[in-house]
């Protein structure tokens, strides 16, 4: 299959999978939703709906694209034979979802030979679905997304997030203590995928976080890049669990450099 038809097929599959999962999560959330399991700490939670949504997505992908690989937050993993791998976060912002807060999303990316080709982030309570195809721009519905022009660092509204282990949170608080007086303000939304899309939309000037996994940023980072942002980790490195940074050119370099000085990449 040539590149154009493959992109179109992967985007259509990702959009339908995200829509189905989003409807399940929005309309099927039980009133007595509780924690089904924990991961890195007692506050890093998994709900029964995380598990149900990932099962829905993986079953749909297996039906539509049976030769593709999978990597999901809640344990789905297979190598595949097609060169395409789906990177899935069934609920990005699980704590928000658990508490009934609106900032949560379904994040689905399709990688080809290790590089993100398609990204979809569905935020059902917002009523928005963000999408991007590599080289073809980023959109929310019919609206093309563009980052804000880069402000100076002291006028930048920056999003971030925090880990679940106490020692990491303490280190992140120290970085924040130094950075906060140097920027316009800080926002902490609770969903990395939405934060990255908010950079793409111009609702944030920039974003950074330590401790993200591929399923947290694969789709959102592609959407941010296609809207004009730069993404990366430490200087000269790609976004990773160590550090993820997104911002328009001009601000990206200043924010990344300051985070390097503050040691935002270490606990």
Give the count of domains, the chain: 2
Residue 1, pLDDT above cutoff 80: no
List the one residue out of 104, 79, 126 whose CA is nearest residue 25: 104
List the one residue out of 229, 226, 219 whose CA is nearest residue 255: 229
**133 shares a domain with 159:** no
Numbers of helices and strands, H then E, in the chain:
7, 15
Domain that holds residue 218: 153-262
**159 shares a domain with 208:** yes
**183 shares a domain with 112:** no
Query: Does 213 fall in a domain?
Result: yes
**191 shares a domain with 111:** no
How buried is residue 136: exposed, middle or buried, by Cβ count under 10 Å (0-12/13-18/19+)?
A: middle
Residue 36, CA distances (Å) to 46, 52, 90, 112 in order: 6, 11, 15, 33
Taking the C-alpha atoms of residue 266 and residue 130, their distance in angstroms, rounded to an integer, is: 31
29-76, pLDDT tens digit by residue?
988 888 888 778 776 668 899 899 999 999 999 999 999 999 988 777
Query: Does 72 fall in a domain?
Result: yes
Percent of the chain at pLDDT > 70 equals 98
* Predicted pLDDT of residue 62: 95
Q: What is the CATH number of the domain that holds 23?
A: 3.30.540.10
207-254, pLDDT tens digit by residue?
999 999 999 999 999 999 999 999 999 999 999 999 999 999 999 999
Q: What does the mean pLDDT of the chain come to?
A: 95
- Boundary-marking domain end, from 119, 144, 169: 144
Query: Does 267 fall in a domain?
Result: no
Q: What is the CATH number of the domain that holds 171?
A: 3.40.190.80
């Amino acid at each position: 299959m040539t590149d154009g038809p493959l992109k179109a097929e992967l985007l259509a599959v990702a959009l339908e999978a995200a829509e189905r999962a989003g409807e399940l999560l929005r309309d099927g959330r039980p009133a007595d939703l509780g924690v089904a399991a924990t991961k890195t700490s007692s506050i890093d939670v998994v709900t029964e709906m995380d598990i149900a949504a990932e099962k829905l997505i993986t079953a749909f992908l297996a039906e539509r694209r049976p030769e593709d690989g999978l990597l999901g937050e809640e344990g789905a993993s297979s190598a595949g034979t097609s060169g395409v791998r789906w990177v899935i976060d069934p609920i990005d912002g699980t704590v928000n979802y658990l508490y009934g807060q609106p900032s949560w999303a379904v994040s689905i990316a399709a990688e080809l030979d290790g590089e993100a080709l398609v990204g979809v982030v569905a935020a059902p309570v917002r009523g928005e679905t963000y999408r991007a195809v590599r080289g073809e721009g980023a959109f929310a519905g019919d609206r093309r997304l563009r980052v804000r022009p880069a402000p100076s660092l002291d006028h930048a509204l920056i999003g971030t997030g925090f880990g679940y282990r106490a020692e990491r949170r303490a280190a992140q608080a120290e970085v924040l203590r130094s950075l906060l007086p140097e920027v316009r303000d800080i926002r902490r939304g609770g969903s990395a995928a939405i934060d990255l899309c908010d950079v793409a939309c111009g609702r944030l000037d920039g974003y950074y976080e330590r401790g993200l996994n591929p399923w947290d940023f694969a789709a959102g980072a592609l959407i941010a890049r296609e809207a004009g942002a730069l993404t990366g980790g430490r200087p000269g490195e790609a976004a990773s669990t160590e550090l993820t940074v997104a911002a328009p050119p001009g601000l990206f370099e200043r924010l990344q450099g300051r985070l390097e000085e503050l040691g935002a990449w270490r606990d």
